[in-house]
């Protein structure tokens, strides 16, 4: 499926009705892990909605309701791609967010920032608004311990 197209109803596996609504009513793209690289390189701002199994992370359904409202608060400022749980799990390490569900903003294929976990409405407005005006940056990474040679810490890496 072309990642910029919303799926046809017959193309979708059995989905929670709130996920179906995102595709059918709002025309959000169903982005697979394989389509992600192409999808994010489209020009301008893209919000990626990283979903998780609603049985494990009930907040995912809350964000599925909130996300279209965020779009209404910032009309025309971004397109939305939804990564269903399998695709989201595969792509999540690339963006370094810490809590599910998450919104990740990319611009012209480059990471800008993320809003992870569930927030109050005002926080979404503030954080998404700030991200829309922020420069691109490096995604946070999972910390990796760095040791110096010889086991002596000289305050820098070798």
What is the pLDDT of the chain when averaged over all its residues?
Answer: 87
Q: Apex CA 53: angle with CA 47 and CA 55, to 5°?
A: 135
The alpha helices in 35-119, defined as continuous H runs, are: 36-40, 59-73, 85-91
Q: What CATH number does domain 9-151 carry, 3.40.50.720, 3.30.70.2470, 3.30.413.10, 3.40.30.10? A: 3.40.30.10
pLDDT at residue 9 in the model: 44
Residues 41-56 have a mean pLDDT of 96
Q: What is the pLDDT of residues 92-139, one digit of tens each?
A: 999 999 999 999 999 999 999 999 999 999 999 999 999 999 999 999
Q: Which residue in this structure is represented by tokens 């999972």? A: 142
Condensed to tens digits (0 to 9), the pLDDT of residues 54-79 reads 999 999 999 999 999 999 999 999 99
Using an 8 Å Cβ cutoff, are 81 and 39 in contact?
yes
Residue given tokens 């169903």 in the structure block: 30
For the segment 127-146, what is each residue's pLDDT rounded down to a tens digit? Answer: 999 999 999 999 987 555 44
pTM, 2 dp: 0.82
Give the model's pLDDT for residue 27.
97
């Amino acid at each position: 499926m072309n990642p910029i197209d919303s799926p046809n109803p017959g193309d979708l596996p059995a989905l929670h009705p709130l996920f179906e609504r995102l595709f059918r009513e709002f025309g959000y793209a169903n982005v697979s892990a394989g389509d992600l690289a192409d999808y994010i390189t489209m020009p301008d701002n893209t919000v990626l909605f990283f979903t998780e199994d609603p049985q494990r992370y009930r907040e995912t359904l809350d964000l599925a309701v909130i996300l279209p409202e965020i779009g209404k608060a910032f009309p025309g400022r971004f397109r939305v791609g939804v990564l269903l749980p399998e695709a989201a799990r595969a792509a999540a390490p690339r963006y370094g967010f810490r809590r599910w569900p998450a919104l990740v903003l990319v611009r012209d294929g480059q990471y800008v920032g993320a809003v992870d976990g569930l927030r109050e409405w005002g926080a979404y407005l503030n954080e998404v608004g700030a991200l829309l005006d922020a420069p691109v940056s490096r995604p946070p990474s999972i910390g990796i311990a760095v040791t110096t040679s010889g086991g002596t810490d000289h305050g820098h890496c070798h």
